[in-house]
Chains A and B, each alone.
Chain A
């Protein structure tokens, strides 16, 4: 490690010299080999890679299937590789013309796998890597490639927080091991690592408004999914170590499409999707609302006045009950206003995609343009994307290739705030206001203003339609790459990445909306810049000497990330006419404010290498390593070294299996490696004072400055160590293929906060302490069940399971006694419950002060009192196992794809539970709530199953504050896609192919969960829709 640090710091001149020497190597005389590559049916194959084995000398076939190759070696072997076809090897034997036929077989074995700083044939891979060919997946009505990956790769979990168009997902590989750090993987797009993979959309400032943005944009939604050729997921550290300190959570490599030599191919796909909202919250209608309000308010009256059955006060001693609604009103209430129905609508997606690719031997171009327009299912919510791409490969002479990937996108969206808020009813967002606004009230007053509910803090749901909440994201990614074949064996790549993302927010809350906090209107403007720059240079050396093949990659990189933002809020406008376009007209200068921020730039310097060695194509060894220096690391630990190594044994190549009719492939892999997580570091190692507190002196706001952070000069990365063993298999000439992996991943030196005593000035200090571990197993199978000419049936199945748990805890932070030292990371603790008290005989002896309708807590240790000693483990929200299951059928010109995925054994709390709290509806300023409130216990409904109004004197003694009254074990299986396609039989036309399809997305969820969608982790999530898409794919 010491040595490597030295190498990094001092190696520049050496490296330069080394590269110069290599350039001066002489070239031997060359011969020319040419030929044609066709399929078994005689069609020329365009873009087949022809490579002189063991070298980097190669060519691609042109539009007629012809290739031309120059080599000095007349005795070598040519390797013909083409996706979807069997790789073929032909020894040259002195020939000048070699024609070959490739057999159609989409065997996974021969797929090219992207590994970072290079590719590899899948059969030579020794780490745990999953490749997903996105072209096999339905690409309609999804905004981000992340949406397409759900359930497709064992060990890759995508958590949907909400169904917001373009919405973000929580991505994790092999479980989330860092309790406080970020658990999302590193994305590498066409070789460029995206250091800060964040959305630039500025958040709404909730200081006065109270509800949050409504924008939770997946940063990858700026990349057109149709441009993506493949996604490779590096799971174990022996594979990810080459990305060092950024790779602890795995690496997702995204490769976009490139042009192929030949006649230009124009592809068009267009689709139209209808989005149908799924059943959301089941709210009370006007009759139900008035009935339940009076019923529960009466019970409150009994309890508050200690009347029977809650107390012994004589009814004559207190004022009589005054109901909010008379029986007559209730009888005439009818259905009233369906507020949820009002804010929800049928959505649509219009997507148009056109790409042109083609080129010559020297110049290859892929260009595309995408238009995506989603009118989403909540009123005032839509998402529009324009994106374009130009990928150019230009051969400059025989040895230099210049490539440029350019993509730009603009996303315009109108947003509706969902999720939580930062206050009470005055700060409800559109969805919350629709749940709670009384249904017995109309939308408008006679004078045209919006009505108010009994709790007049709630903004009228319809008033959200006139709120302007618009964001624009512009993203530009350019990555030029120069590849120089220094010698036949040595390649030098320099790749530069420029990724600039600007997000803009324009928000106006009109006075007309009558928001209680901001009755005279408010505007917000904000911009946010995220810039990722990278420059990498690496050498690749490939050599084969008899049975020994070597391949070595080594290089250096420089990375910089800039993150800065600006925002303002302007309060009180004499007119709504300006919208957000004239903030200077705001009159309340005390409430108006500006803010700006620039995070400390992240600067990173790296050196990395990978060496592959294979002997007789049977025994494989890979060694990787990376040295990273980061500006966020504390002064005492600026550099980290992350090594990895893996071994592979292709058992099927051994003599005893070579002739096997059953086993066509068998490879054993074992790997170990380390990688780092530095995601939450920021400036946490520094002592800082921050602004924020304020106080009025006289009539002026004065800014305060407070100590925000104390120094930790040793703060640095979290290290993940993975040991992985895997088996890749293929049976019956690879009719059945797949792999099995078992792993143990340990996160050490966890990024954590020492919780300092609460009486200290600063409550926490970032530190590296503790260890967590994950153990898991992953299995995948791809089976071509039927492969007759007319009918084909392929099944794809993967399943994964893991357990993660604490190995070592932070000794500096006291934790509650009910927490076991080696418990699962996200274990949930609380009191167990046993229903509610329906009658006095059910009052447990240890709850003498309990009232009717109170929850019965279980006195776990039987000591006669409820306290911390009764807190037990309730369950773990991580699934016991997850699976994905896809089937593709083709019959003649028809194709059918059915895909489902699911997770099993999660502990969850029913998110409807909170709405059964009677205090929501029984007060004078009553809120509407779920129809299930009718099951709440009251004196006149003693069989009610949900807790009644009486406050439980024991709840406050539960230090976990959690109980399992609404908890349950949850399983779900989601029928994600059914796609039916029909290919028009076209013989001779300018149209090469034409396919029509219908795709049904998100058809059904089979689940035992009692709340809303089990996948949605956000409170008040954007509602889910079922999508029906009609589309066409055409090639010209």
Chain B
């Protein structure tokens, strides 16, 4: 150190050395390159959509809204929405159940009392409408996959067809709740920020129909025997969605034809009703949401009471006491109906007492998945969430026939379902009588599967049914949910609210 003293020459050398080092650090790779952003943990257009695995990953994103898991984070805006077929009160499934006489809950007063408005469901609570962005995502995937050159045409066709069915399904879900919405199906509009008006129901339905019909040739018939691919979109699923669309639109002839097509596809009723829900990939299933322990089925946990100890062969800890089946609905079952075996009307509490209607129990427990016996306390179970099944096809076929030409030809289909339930066959009814009886039959057969609301709406009974239950705030226009306030504000007058609701 001493040597530095008063010797500027050494100083200079020292300084030059330092400055050179410093300069090297900064100038090494050149200013311009140094300021490029390197992306480590995400993908870019340069390295994505290059292989079949990439395509599969892109398509999985379009599947994700249908998951049984709690919620989905929309990658395009970071917002969370409850998955459509999760057992939470915010979902498409539960909003369908709880606006009808088949379900009761303390968890959403606005829903059960018909006091919802455009601003009621916000954020995570607004859990159906936001999936409109997944229609655009599906359109983007279709557009990108069509342009991939590194993958064979057959592979591309299969994924394109899958994506189209998913897009149609998403559009049907939105249609069911909100009527036609301005979902984006034209790739040319994907990057446009112009607000587009809502299409007519005809245009909207035609889009769903064309996605489904054009996808069918490129899809396998079904996956019921394929353990690896169970859960993927199939011909059966595409036909089922067509049937749902035609039923919704009361296009009875088309509905009948589609249902009859499905009857030729090898589906059959399970001999025992309870097995439909307990046996994976059984032959009655057209679609169930696949589950595993990371994305299980929470329904059973949600419906079991907070003081549950045992009922029949099921012994386990308490559940979350979320939902119940009002006694009035439970009373629709005939005494001999074996479907009641999947509904708990009496149980032993953790205090050792019997809880039932007489003891003040608020409703029956629509357990549905009885296979949980002996499988522990949950909260989730690996029973796939049943969405569409052959029994609904048969009941829809019966309805479509009755609406066109009376019940004579329709009895055979509904009685297949009744016979399995161990109740006597329908016969000797007028068209109106059959319509009413079939509505109840659908209720009993498909309880808590999300079809009751559609059935009541189709028959024009959703509101009168609610008012009869004392839900006096229910208004005739509430057969559709309101377009959410934030969408209306962004819509700037171009998007029209469903009639009856304030903007």
Report whether A687 and B76 are in contact in the complex, using a CB–CB cutoff of 8 Å.
Answer: no
Interface residues of A in 549-607 (CB under 8 A from B): 556, 558, 564, 588, 590-591, 593, 596-601, 603, 605
Residues from chain A with Cβ under 8 Å of B61 in the complex: 693, 704-706
A1019 CB within 8 Å of chain B: no
B360 CB within 8 Å of chain A: yes
Report whether B193 and A629 are in contact in the complex, using a CB–CB cutoff of 8 Å.
Answer: no
Name the CB-closest residue of A to B34: A603
Report whether A400 and B4 are in contact in the complex, using a CB–CB cutoff of 8 Å.
Answer: yes
Name the CB-closest residue of B to A812: B193
Residues from chain A with Cβ under 8 Å of B76 in the complex: 706-708, 760-764
Q: Could you give, for residues 190-220 of chain B, a 1 whenever the CB lies within 8 Å of some chain A CB and a 0 otherwise?
A: 1101111000000000000000000000000
Residues from chain A with Cβ under 8 Å of B502 in the complex: 865-868, 957
A638 to chain B, nearest CB (A): 6
Interface residues of B in 18-40 (CB under 8 A from A): 18-20, 22-23, 25-27, 31, 34-40
B360 to chain A, nearest CB (A): 3
Report whether B26 and A708 are in contact in the complex, using a CB–CB cutoff of 8 Å.
Answer: no
B35 to chain A, nearest CB (A): 5
Residues from chain B with Cβ under 8 Å of A757 in the complex: 193-196, 490
Report whether B41 and A703 are in contact in the complex, using a CB–CB cutoff of 8 Å.
Answer: no
Q: Which of B69, B109, B482 has the most CB of A within 10 A?
A: B109
Name the CB-closest residue of A to B488: A959
Report whether B54 and A603 are in contact in the complex, using a CB–CB cutoff of 8 Å.
Answer: no
A958 CB within 8 Å of chain B: yes
Complex CA–CA separation, A482 to B14 (angstroms): 11
A23 and B12 in contact (CB under 8 A), knowing A697-B231, A705-B57, A814-B492? yes
A42 CB within 8 Å of chain B: no
A956 and B117 in contact (CB under 8 A), knowing A306-B472, A758-B133, A849-B473? yes
Q: Which of B63, B73, B113, B119 has the most CB of A within 10 A?
A: B119
Report whether B11 and A698 are in contact in the complex, using a CB–CB cutoff of 8 Å.
Answer: no
Residues from chain B with Cβ under 8 Å of A955 in the complex: 110, 115, 117, 119-120
Interface residues of B in 226-271 (CB under 8 A from A): 226-232
A764 and B77 in contact (CB under 8 A), knowing A399-B11, A704-B60? yes
B182 CB within 8 Å of chain A: yes
Complex CA–CA separation, A698 to B140 (angstroms): 26
B428 CB within 8 Å of chain A: no
Contact of A689 among B4, B5, B48, B227 (CB under 8 A): B48
Residues from chain B with Cβ under 8 Å of A27 in the complex: 8
B106 CB within 8 Å of chain A: yes
A761 and B190 in contact (CB under 8 A), knowing A397-B1, A600-B40, A706-B75? yes
Report whether B4 and A396 are in contact in the complex, using a CB–CB cutoff of 8 Å.
Answer: yes
Complex CA–CA separation, A919 to B194 (angstroms): 42
A701 and B294 in contact (CB under 8 A), knowing A24-B8, A484-B11, A517-B379? yes
Question: Interface segment, B285-293, B407-415, B446-454, B457-465?
Answer: B285-293
Question: Interface segment, A251-259, A453-461, A769-777?
Answer: A453-461
Contact of A956 among B110, B227, B491 (CB under 8 A): B110
A488 to chain B, nearest CB (A): 12
B406 CB within 8 Å of chain A: no
Residues from chain B with Cβ under 8 Å of A629 in the complex: 31, 35
Complex CA–CA separation, A638 to B32 (angstroms): 9
B369 CB within 8 Å of chain A: no
Report whether A756 and B115 are in contact in the complex, using a CB–CB cutoff of 8 Å.
Answer: no
Report whether B25 and A697 are in contact in the complex, using a CB–CB cutoff of 8 Å.
Answer: no
Q: Is the interface of A mostly helix, strand, loop or mixed?
A: loop
A759 CB within 8 Å of chain B: yes
Complex CA–CA separation, A67 to B248 (angstroms): 96
A295 CB within 8 Å of chain B: no
Q: Is the interface of B mostly helix, strand, loop or mixed?
A: loop
Residues from chain B with Cβ under 8 Å of A482 in the complex: 18
Report whether A630 and B75 are in contact in the complex, using a CB–CB cutoff of 8 Å.
Answer: no
B485 CB within 8 Å of chain A: yes
Question: Interface segment, A12-20, A343-351, A778-786, A1004-1012?
Answer: A12-20
B16 CB within 8 Å of chain A: yes
Report whether B133 and A925 are in contact in the complex, using a CB–CB cutoff of 8 Å.
Answer: no
Report whether A762 and B18 are in contact in the complex, using a CB–CB cutoff of 8 Å.
Answer: no
Report whether B470 and A951 are in contact in the complex, using a CB–CB cutoff of 8 Å.
Answer: no
Contact of B4 among A397, A701, A865, A868 (CB under 8 A): A397
B401 CB within 8 Å of chain A: no
B235 to chain A, nearest CB (A): 17
Interface residues of A in 475-517 (CB under 8 A from B): 482, 484, 486, 492, 494, 516-517
B465 to chain A, nearest CB (A): 15
Report whether B290 and A16 are in contact in the complex, using a CB–CB cutoff of 8 Å.
Answer: no
A834 CB within 8 Å of chain B: no
Contact of B115 among A693, A701, A951 (CB under 8 A): A951
Complex CA–CA separation, A758 to B48 (angstroms): 24
Residues from chain B with Cβ under 8 Å of A455 in the complex: 306, 320-321
Residues from chain B with Cβ under 8 Å of A704 in the complex: 57-64
B356 CB within 8 Å of chain A: no
Interface residues of B in 77-91 (CB under 8 A from A): 77, 79
A191 to chain B, nearest CB (A): 15
Report whether A761 and B318 are in contact in the complex, using a CB–CB cutoff of 8 Å.
Answer: no
Q: Could you give, for residues 130-154 of chain B, a 1 whenever the CB lies within 8 Å of some chain A CB and a 0 otherwise?
A: 1011011101100000000000000
Complex CA–CA separation, A600 to B470 (angstroms): 58
Report whether A687 and B45 are in contact in the complex, using a CB–CB cutoff of 8 Å.
Answer: yes
In the complex, 29 of the A-B residue pairs with CB atoms within 8 angstroms, ordered by the A residue number, are A16-B19, A23-B11, A400-B4, A423-B70, A494-B22, A519-B377, A519-B379, A558-B25, A605-B34, A629-B31, A632-B37, A686-B44, A689-B44, A694-B60, A695-B67, A696-B290, A697-B60, A704-B57, A704-B64, A705-B48, A706-B75, A708-B76, A760-B184, A760-B191, A761-B133, A763-B76, A867-B503, A953-B473, A956-B115
B residues lining the A interface (CB < 8 Å): 1-2, 4-8, 11-12, 14-16, 18-20, 22-23, 25-27, 31, 34-45, 48, 54, 56-64, 66-70, 72-77, 79, 106, 109-110, 113-120, 122, 129-130, 132-133, 135-137, 139-140, 181-184, 190-191, 193-196, 226-232, 289-295, 305-306, 317-318, 320-321, 359-360, 362, 377, 379, 382, 470, 472-473, 482, 485-492, 501-503
Q: Top 7 closest A-B pairs, CB basis? A: A956-B117, A763-B77, A322-B360, A706-B75, A704-B60, A704-B61, A397-B4
A residues lining the B interface (CB < 8 Å): 8-9, 12, 15-16, 19-20, 23-25, 27, 304-306, 311, 313, 319, 322, 396-400, 423, 426, 452, 454-457, 482, 484, 486, 492, 494, 516-517, 519, 535, 537, 556, 558, 564, 588, 590-591, 593, 596-601, 603, 605, 629-633, 638, 683, 685-708, 710, 754-764, 812-817, 849, 865-868, 919, 923-925, 951-961
